[in-house]
Structure formats: structure tokens, C-alpha cells
Amino acid sequence: MKRIRLRYPIFLLISSLLAISQTRQANTPAPRPQNSPPISSDEAPSDETLQHTPCADQPTTRKQMAMAFQSGRQPLPAQLTGNWVEIGELSDYPSSPPFSNLNCSGERRDGKFEFVFVADGYSAELHAMGTYAQRVTMRPDGKGAIEFDVDFEADEGPQTYRCRLTKRGTLVCLIGAYDGAEFKRMKVDKGQIYEAGEDLP
């Protein structure tokens, strides 16, 4: 009986230690690739909720956005200075249904804006969910627009945004043949800007 009494607590202790070890291993995140940008504690909310509260005169299709782009003009550096918030994303790929994400007061996820860029003339800091903070220099494309690249860390490489200032004072950007985005200048609190990834240089 003494042997049984001595063995039982030891066996229970070993079983408990094994269970704790397995739980810790299961909850330990996989290591990040060595060369990937660091991620802060302010991770992007994982669930995107499509929004549909456009401005009264906002383009709601990629075709309408292209028309607004055609009637727009190249913004001067002074006209760009400030905080610009994405208020619309539109796509019309032939092989899939049209996509729209629209919010006149700024597309948000968990209280933060999905895409904000802070411009000082043609220099801008980009803060977009799903990628790291970036600094870009916008450049005239020689065709009445400015352009800049955004790295969303996709296999196909950065996306080029070609933008013009609309009659409504917004910035409409065409991205390739089927995508587009619209930005509106507005006041933004620091806590509403998504911060993640490597520090800006």
C-alpha cells in the first residue's frame, strides 16, 4: 500500500507537467520569417466588414470612378498636404461580381481607419491595414495625374495608384485596369490611424 501511495502523486505530477507542456506548445505562435517586417502589438483586425454608406455624390462603381478620374486634374503639392482617408474601394473584374466598400466618413475596422496617408506635399506616409508603414514620394506621371506605389506584400509586387483631384475635392486613384480607391481629406486622431510593421525611416 505504501508503494501505491508514493507512486500515485508522482504519476499525477508527471501527467500534469506533460499536459502543461503540450498546452504551451499548442499556444506558441509559429516563428515569423527572418526577413519579414516586424509586427507591433497593434495587429490588424482580422475580419473586414463591407460598408455601404457612400457620400451623396460619390462614385459607387469602378466605371463611375474612372469617369471622375477623367474629369479630374493633377493635384499641386500644397493641395495634397494633410490627412487623407480612404472612403471607397471598387473593383469590376470581368470574372467576378463587382466589389464595393464605401464609407463617406472613412472605411473603418474596429475603430481604426483601413487606409490613411499623411502627406506633406508629394511626400507621404502610408498607413494601410494588412501591411507595414511606408513612406513614398508621389510623382507626376506626365499624363495629368500623380502616382505612387503601395506594397501590400503580395506575390505580384506593389500596386501603383494613379490619382487625380476631383471637382468634389477628393482624390480618385485608379489601380490597374479593374481596381480603384477614393480618398477624402479630413481630421484624423492619432488613435484612429493603424500602426504596424517596421518604423518609418
- Does residue 29 form part of some domain? no
Q: What is the pTM of this model?
A: 0.75
User: Residue 88 belongs to what domain range?
Assistant: 52-192
- Does residue 121 form part of some domain? yes
For residues 187 and 165, the answer to whether their CB atoms sit within 8 Å is: no
Give the number of domains in the chain.
1
pLDDT of residue 49: 74
Which cell goes with 98?
463587382
pLDDT of residue 110: 87
- Does residue 46 form part of some domain? no
pLDDT of residue 130: 86
Please give the Cα distance from 173 to 156 (Å, whole number): 19
CATH code (residue 120): 2.40.128
Locate the DSSP E strands across the chain. Answer: 52-53, 82-91, 99-103, 108-109, 112-113, 115-120, 123-128, 134-137, 139-140, 146-150, 159-165, 171-175, 179-185
pLDDT of residue 45: 53
Mean pLDDT by 10 residues, the chain (201 residues): 32 41 44 37 56 96 98 98 98 96 96 96 96 96 98 94 97 98 96 72 45
C-alpha to C-alpha distances, 90 to 19, 44, 64, nearest whole angstrom: 50, 21, 10
- Does residue 8 form part of some domain? no
- Does residue 3 form part of some domain? no
